[in-house]
Amino acid sequence: MEPRSAPPSPHAEDTPDGMAARCTDVVKTYRTATEPVTALDRVTLGIPRARVTVVVGPSGAGKSSLLRLLGCIDRPDSGSVHVGGQRVDELRARGRRRLRRRQVSYLFQRPGDNLLPYLGAIEQVRLAAAMRGATVDGDEVQDLLGRLGLGHRGAHRPAELSGGEQQRLAVACSVVGSPTLVVADEPTAELDTAAAERVLAAMSDLAASGVAFVVSSHDPRVMAVADGTVHLDHGRVVP
Ligand code: ADP
């Protein structure tokens, strides 16, 4: 892996300790018909900017639960979650929605779930920027698509792209407009090795220009691009 340059200087939207996101003493319990299930048990961690942080652990370890908190979809039962300068756990659904729209991108496993079927690639990127309150000119969109190997696919709709191309387009949409954090839940699970490697290389390249990625995976290919790894087991961070 290429050596990384020093992280960029603090961002206006970083947490007080300079992280893009942070969980402190987070507990998340689900109520079920039989007994409560503790998915996260006093989890403390930071997600730095300009890095790809991979969350690994066996099935049921709490990876998706953690990503849903960082993605501002859920709130913890106790403890705090910061994304940028904001405390997510203190926000109601509307505040979390606003934070999510402006500052957080969430990438799903299935490429098609990340895209609108009736828009071409350029329009998808422009719409993602507009949703974040940003405008991008044609050259910026073309440059971003070019970096992701999609320069010749600007007018193509998702159905006209391969799974790997769709997921790279989703990565383009996830970083445009400078969100604080990109959360990706098993983003390569549905891709073959070559396609997965291109998606991961794209993430790594874009992280180097300042984006914080947090990615869950079982996949050793994802581990290979990680700048940092968080191991979860039974809801706890393990060394
Ligand atoms: P992972 O992503 O590592 O597989 P999850 O975060 O999905 O782990 O799940 C952690 C634990 O929480 C598991 O025991 C799982 O069964 C439980 N769990 C997750 N979501 C729910 C839910 N909505 N209701 C009840 N239990 C849940």
**114 contacts 166 by C-beta, under 8 angstroms:** yes
- The answer to the question of residue 32 being in a domain is no
The one-character DSSP state at 142 is H
- The answer to the question of residue 138 being in a domain is yes
Question: For the domain that residue 224 is a member of, what is the CATH number?
Answer: 3.40.50.300
- The answer to the question of residue 6 being in a domain is no
- The answer to the question of residue 36 being in a domain is no
Number of structural domains found in the chain: 1
Ligand 1 atom closest to residue 57's alpha carbon, by position in its atom list: 3
Ligand 1 proximal residues by C-beta, below 6 Å: 30, 32, 37, 39, 57, 59-65
Taking the C-alpha atoms of residue 227 and residue 222, their distance in angstroms, rounded to an integer, is: 10
Domain of 144? Answer: 49-73+102-230
- Pocket perturbation via mutation, ligand 1, pick of 29, 30, 215 by most ligand atoms within 8 A of CB: 30
- The answer to the question of residue 214 being in a domain is yes
Which position has the higher pLDDT, 209 or 34? 34
Burial class of 194 by CB neighbour count within 10 A (0 to 12, 13 to 18, 19+): exposed
Ligand 1 atom closest to residue 232's alpha carbon, by position in its atom list: 3
Of 40, 170, 175, which Cα lies nearest the Cα of 109? 170
Q: What is the pTM of this model?
A: 0.90
pLDDT band at residue 200, thresholds of 50, 70 and 90?
Answer: confident
Question: What's the mean pLDDT in 138-166?
Answer: 93
Of 184, 153, 201, 176, which Cα lies nearest the Cα of 55? 184
Instruction: Specify the pLDDT at position 84.
Output: 86
- The answer to the question of residue 154 being in a domain is yes
